[in-house]
A and B are shown apart, each in its own frame.
Chain A
């Protein structure tokens, strides 16, 4: 049984002028110890999906489908069980995490907080655990007495990772963990995440708009556009040989230095990410698609098989399965 299974998950926000479908029918699975990358840009629904996993969305968000964490449906859990699951079984490193620290409390207290809340340790034992965690993320133990403003961006991000590890969860959801960081610090943090995941067998869902980063850290990659998964497969394959035109555009957005093809040739996509309240008919990507056909505006696009272990929601990539297989 997989650790995490999303079955046709959809999230709709209710606002004054109607409903906003942020996530529309996403199905994914994650095995224990595996790393899944979710790629997408603003409006793709990726952060909404991450928050939905732990039911951290505001009250006016309607969640459909099933989210099975170790067989239990997160969406129908009782409140007490939900609280126990949060952080102890699955934790999140939030986007903009560097601002997610309370500026008037010391780092050590903030890392210890989930331990104390979940009654996993007495205050003294918690202090030792905090020192362990700081060491695991590469910070000296004396940092526990520092305040957030005394740390750099990269150091704060490490603190957030330490906090996420505090209760030894089985799943960590990292939402754009390195977006605001310098390349070197980003490399340090990614290297840290990779090691932790490998050493402790933690499953990881990493969300980013940078396909190259996801290809590096994760085993599987799912690309989201306008609330749906438009491509899924092993990360290196999806990155180097994307089947969906959007994935190809995303991959091309971060050129490989040294590749003459991208020298003086920046590749971008015209148009803008679609407004979830006003989605185009048929394939949501067709207005921006360089290879769109006339039928794409009406076609009911789904994730079709596009090769061994690969799926893509594009007519061009569709590989017919053999009858009888």
Chain B
């Protein structure tokens, strides 16, 4: 099984590249077989940039996010931060944590119910032995929109609403003054009316602190709301990426087209049948071809790429800011 890979891929982002995944592969052993959760990904997040990583469950986006955070070690490829490859020694990882932080999906589960808000936000500074802990906590809570911060110090998570809990989690991440925030479904568990507030907070943090963000989500509306660039993942690979305006209004990959078409306001519904195959059994050729409506409808046949779709592997997309799609049909017709 030889996958094509990019040896010296060009990397470019709006600002300087901060966080980068280079030819990343992450495999797990699952039920006796190897599951290729991340199967060759190039992704870059630049200074002050918000990138949305979009895909359905099982596509590997959470694994990718965790690997970028250093919580998971790649099988091959590397994670680079600020130009240097990630060092997995305890000391280096700990220093890395001051640069790249995590916000998880479920704010209720992310907070230890026995710790007060103060203790939850102070956890990071305490681990790293930062001085002026109280100031750091107060600043972080203010920045996350919980004002006046002192009022929240002694509260417990169960006394707060979902939106407030998520702000506490964000404050906990901000307390370490990171440059990049990796948010895994930051608003999925929150009430609809509160979503906007948390998303607005992320935008404000970018403005005020220059914070970059990688937002992992299945919600394209979220990407439209706050992201500069979007990368669409399917079965371990990025199948399309580029500026949000371009990709979400004129998608070139059939999977992106299908995802957009099932949004409530869209004129034509392309509902894909079945579900994504599991990462232990990735199809040959283009990994999406079994569910691809372009192939099924005969358009691929007309363009003469149907055979390629079924048999030929696609190159791993490089981490460039321009719009690109990994699709034989899209390549041919463009």
Q: Do A and B come from one complex?
A: yes
Rank and list the top 4 A-B pairs by shortest CB-CB distance, nearest first.
Answer: A268-B196, A266-B199, A268-B197, A187-B262
Cross-chain contact B197 with A257 (CB below 8 angstroms):
no
A255–B219 alpha-carbon span in the complex (Å): 10
A-B contact list, 26 entries, CB within 8 Å: A41-B193, A154-B275, A182-B57, A183-B262, A183-B263, A184-B258, A184-B262, A184-B271, A186-B262, A187-B271, A212-B263, A212-B264, A213-B264, A250-B193, A252-B196, A253-B196, A256-B265, A257-B220, A257-B224, A257-B265, A258-B224, A262-B225, A263-B244, A268-B194, A269-B194, A269-B196
Q: Give the chain A neighbours of B193 by CB distance below 8 A.
A: 41, 246, 249-250, 253, 268-269, 273, 288
Q: Which residue of B lies closest to A288 (CB)?
A: B193
A153–B56 alpha-carbon span in the complex (Å): 12
Least Cβ–Cβ distance between A163 and chain B, in angstroms: 20
- Please judge, given known A-B contacts A257-B224, A272-B163, whether A184 and B259 are in contact too, CB under 8 Å: yes
Residues of A at the B interface (CB closer than 8 Å) are: 41-42, 152-155, 182-188, 191, 209-213, 215-216, 246, 249-250, 252-259, 262-270, 272-273, 288
A190–B173 alpha-carbon span in the complex (Å): 37
Interface 0/1 of B218-237, CB less than 8 Å to A? 11110111100000000000
Cross-chain contact A263 with B271 (CB below 8 angstroms):
no
- For the A-B complex with A258-B248, A269-B197 known, give 15 more contacts whose Cβ atoms are closer than 8 Å: A41-B191, A183-B263, A184-B262, A184-B275, A186-B262, A187-B269, A188-B271, A216-B264, A250-B192, A253-B193, A255-B221, A266-B197, A266-B225, A268-B199, A272-B194
Interface 0/1 of B250-268, CB less than 8 Å to A? 0000000011101111000
Least Cβ–Cβ distance between B114 and chain A, in angstroms: 23
Judge whether B84 is part of the interface by a CB distance below 8 angstroms: no
Q: Give the chain B neighbours of A258 by CB distance below 8 A.
A: 224, 248-249
Q: Which residue of B lies closest to A179 (CB)?
A: B188
Q: Give the chain B neighbours of A152 by CB distance below 8 A.
A: 275
Least Cβ–Cβ distance between A99 and chain B, in angstroms: 15
A253–B190 alpha-carbon span in the complex (Å): 11
Q: Which residue of A lies closest to B145 (CB)?
A: A270
Of A182, A209, A250, A265, the residue contacting B225 (CB under 8 A) is A265
Q: Give the chain B neighbours of A246 by CB distance below 8 A.
A: 193
- Please judge, given known A-B contacts A250-B193, A253-B196, A255-B221, whether A42 and B162 are in contact too, CB under 8 Å: yes
A41–B163 alpha-carbon span in the complex (Å): 13
Judge whether B203 is part of the interface by a CB distance below 8 angstroms: yes
Of B56, B197, B244, the residue contacting A184 (CB under 8 A) is B56
Cross-chain contact B192 with A182 (CB below 8 angstroms):
no
A216–B194 alpha-carbon span in the complex (Å): 22
A42–B225 alpha-carbon span in the complex (Å): 23
Q: Give the chain A neighbours of B161 by CB distance below 8 A.
A: 272-273
Q: Which residue of A lies closest to B188 (CB)?
A: A180
Q: Which residue of B lies closest to A250 (CB)?
A: B192
Judge whether B47 is part of the interface by a CB distance below 8 angstroms: no
- Please judge, given known A-B contacts A41-B193, A215-B264, A266-B226, whether A272 and B164 are in contact too, CB under 8 Å: yes
Interface 0/1 of B196-210, CB less than 8 Å to A? 111110010000000
Judge whether B66 is part of the interface by a CB distance below 8 angstroms: no
Of A253, A264, A269, the residue contacting B226 (CB under 8 A) is A264
Of A182, A269, A272, the residue contacting B218 (CB under 8 A) is A182
Q: Give the chain B neighbours of A182 by CB distance below 8 A.
A: 56-57, 218
Judge whether B272 is part of the interface by a CB distance below 8 angstroms: yes
Q: Which residue of A lies closest to B270 (CB)?
A: A187
Judge whether B87 is part of the interface by a CB distance below 8 angstroms: no
Least Cβ–Cβ distance between B275 and chain A, in angstroms: 6
Judge whether B195 is part of the interface by a CB distance below 8 angstroms: yes
Least Cβ–Cβ distance between A101 and chain B, in angstroms: 18
Of B57, B203, B260, B273, the residue contacting A257 (CB under 8 A) is B260
Q: Which of B57, B258, B265 has the most CB of A within 10 A?
A: B265
Interface 0/1 of B305-327, CB less than 8 Å to A? 00000000000000000000000
Judge whether B123 is part of the interface by a CB distance below 8 angstroms: no
Cross-chain contact B224 with A255 (CB below 8 angstroms):
yes
Q: Give the chain A neighbours of B133 by CB distance below 8 A.
A: none
Q: Give the chain A neighbours of B220 by CB distance below 8 A.
A: 183, 257
Least Cβ–Cβ distance between A280 and chain B, in angstroms: 15
Least Cβ–Cβ distance between B251 and chain A, in angstroms: 10
Q: Which residue of A lies closest to B272 (CB)?
A: A184
Least Cβ–Cβ distance between A42 and chain B, in angstroms: 6
A183–B266 alpha-carbon span in the complex (Å): 13
Q: Give the chain A neighbours of B245 by CB distance below 8 A.
A: 263
Least Cβ–Cβ distance between A151 and chain B, in angstroms: 10
Cross-chain contact B224 with A185 (CB below 8 angstroms):
no
Q: Give the chain A neighbours of B275 by CB distance below 8 A.
A: 152, 154-155, 184-185
Q: Give the chain B neighbours of A249 by CB distance below 8 A.
A: 193, 196
Least Cβ–Cβ distance between A132 and chain B, in angstroms: 20
A211–B272 alpha-carbon span in the complex (Å): 23
Q: Give the chain B neighbours of A259 by CB distance below 8 A.
A: 224
Of B191, B221, B260, the residue contacting A254 (CB under 8 A) is B221
Q: Which residue of B lies closest to A214 (CB)?
A: B264
A216–B261 alpha-carbon span in the complex (Å): 13
- Please judge, given known A-B contacts A41-B193, A255-B225, A266-B226, whether A183 and B264 are in contact too, CB under 8 Å: no
Least Cβ–Cβ distance between B56 and chain A, in angstroms: 4
A266–B275 alpha-carbon span in the complex (Å): 31
Cross-chain contact B264 with A257 (CB below 8 angstroms):
no
Of B200, B259, B265, the residue contacting A266 (CB under 8 A) is B200
A212–B221 alpha-carbon span in the complex (Å): 12
Q: Which residue of B lies closest to A213 (CB)?
A: B264
Q: Give the chain B neighbours of A210 by CB distance below 8 A.
A: 192
Q: Which of A182, A213, A267 has the most CB of B within 10 A?
A: A182
